[in-house]
Amino acid sequence: MYAILETGGKQYKVQTGDVIEVERLDGEVGAQIELGRVLMLAADDEAPTFGNPAIEGARVFGEVVEQGKGDKIIVFKYKPKVRYRRKTGHRQSVTRVRVGDIVGPE
């Protein structure tokens, strides 16, 4: 069984046991959390179930593996002929989550 869920403004396709990197979520390492809205559920032998926009009652649980920062992004602003250059960097806070149970609607 797999699900498509939305958290932090992004969508992820997950299965039980996957480790995904999402925008920062509150929770200590080892804590059980509920991930965002479930948009689609699909079992191996059944037709997928789509939400409008989300499936009511469907939930995905996970365990926080690590709280950290993502890769550095370089932001470089440049305007020709006026000697304007600005270079800055950014590292987004991320949470690594191991997906546990995927629960369908009752």
Q: What confidence tens digit (pLDDT) does each residue in 38-49 have?
A: 999 998 888 999
CA distance 97 to 84: 41
From residue 56, give the alpha-carbon distance in Å to each of 6, 45, 65, 84: 14, 22, 27, 51
pLDDT band of 103, cuts 50, 70, 90? very high
Amino acid at 13: K
At 12 the pLDDT is: 96
DSSP β-ladder status, 84-103 and 59-79:
antiparallel
